[in-house]
Amino acid sequence: MKNRFGFTLVELLAVVVILGILSVYAIPHLVGMLSTSRNKMYISDARKFVSEIELALRANSSEIEKPDDGEALVFGLGFVDSTEFESTPNGGEYDINRSYVIVKNNSSQLQYSVCLVEHTKSGDYIGLDLTLDEALEQKNSYSKVTTLKTADLIDVSSITADKVNNKLGAGYLQNDTKILQVYLTSLD
């Protein structure tokens, strides 16, 4: 009987073919999982942004005038603690001028909508276009994350009811809705 050390060429070739077939299926699945994970991070950060604005409204009730029925407030990302948003899904930075929360008073009920935009190192804008906060709770909310065109982004300082209605649908903010205040930096 012969002592065999090692593998034959056929055995090695069979292993390489099997690994190749497995990688054809595994790599795209892995890439899809990473993309979904990054998109879920955007949704998580958007929820955190809305929560911080809700907290600020309660904590600073004497300094921030809550909107009356039919009125809205806008809070830029610079209003909240920026250390909470330093780590972004794609390694860029959240755009302080194009990320914001709108607080609308609808029959004495405050409604929140959020836009969270990352400016990536490659120069792209990726994130969550203006979306109602209720939509963030849906099962596939991460599918709302997309690459955004510069022309479609709204600068916080130039926000109007018309621009908001173009994003959220006609009538979200009535034509006579007054944007009371735009908060770009914290009150501290």
In a domain, 73, yes or no: yes
Q: What is the dihedral of CA 83, 78, 60, 47, to 10 degrees?
A: -70
Number of domains in the chain: 1
Per-residue pLDDT tens for 65-79? 888 887 889 999 999
The H or E element containing residue 76 is strand 71-76
In a domain, 25, yes or no: no
Per-residue pLDDT tens for 94-115? 999 999 999 998 888 899 999 9
Q: Range of 78's domain?
A: 30-183
**pLDDT top residue among 187 and 24:** 24
pTM comes to: 0.81
In a domain, 61, yes or no: yes
In a domain, 92, yes or no: yes
